[in-house]
Amino acid sequence: QKEVEQDPGPLSVPEGAIVSLNCTYSNSAFQYFMWYRQYSRKGPELLMYTYSSGNKEDGRFTAQVDKSSKYISLFIRDSQPSDSATYLCAMSAWLPDTGRRALTFGSGTRLQVQP
């Protein structure tokens, strides 16, 4: 079983729709929860992150973390064709054995927003 599970999609929605993207995870040591956006043939770029449980809002984007359920979500309001991309969740945990912070990525959900 993968540490981080993410539905690959594709998810197709009409412009203006509310989009919900989700990841589940199994490692309770994860502390930081991130969402990266990756346009086709480009590298990922950080969209937003949260520490521990709770919500964080940034414009049309809201990130939500529920550590008790090991479930994170990204909501996009008033979706635009320019939001069409693959969205990767990522989670970070400290590895005391190696003295480094490990980052584990989901496999990504492809989103298409139709004009």
Partner 1 sequence: NAGVTQTPKFRVLKTGQSMTLLCAQDMNHEYMYWYRQDPGMGLRLIHYSVGEGTTAKGEVPDGYNVSRLKKQNFLLGLESAAPSQTSVYFCASRPSGQLIEQYFGPGTRLTVT
- If one asks whether residue 87 binds partner 1 (CB under 8 A), the answer comes out as no
Structure tokens at 28: 């309770």
Q: Least distance from C-beta 85 to partner 1, angstroms?
A: 13
Among 22, 62, 73, 107, indicate the residue that binds partner 1 (CB under 8 A): 107
Check residue 43 for interaction with partner 1 (CB under 8 A). Answer: yes
88 part of the interface to partner 1, by CB under 8 A: yes
Binding residue (CB under 8 A) for partner 1 from 53, 54, 101, 114: 101
Burial bucket for residue 5 (CB in 10 Å: 0-12, 13-18, 19+): middle
Q: How far is CA 26 from each of CA 71, 85, 90, rounded to the nearest angstrom?
A: 9, 26, 13
Q: Which stretch binds partner 1 (CB under 8 A): 11-19, 54-62, 71-79, 94-102?
A: 94-102
* Residue whose token pair is 């909501």: 75
Q: In the complex, what is the shortest distance from the CB of residue 8 to partner 1, in angstroms, rounded to a whole number?
A: 7
Q: Is 31 exposed, middle or buried (0-12, 13-18, 19+ CB in 10 A)?
A: middle
32 contributes a contact to partner 1 by CB under 8 A: yes
8, with CB counted inside 10 A (0-12, 13-18, 19+), is exposed
Q: Which residues bind partner 1 (CB under 8 A)?
A: 4, 6, 8, 32, 34, 41-46, 49, 88, 90, 92, 98, 100-108
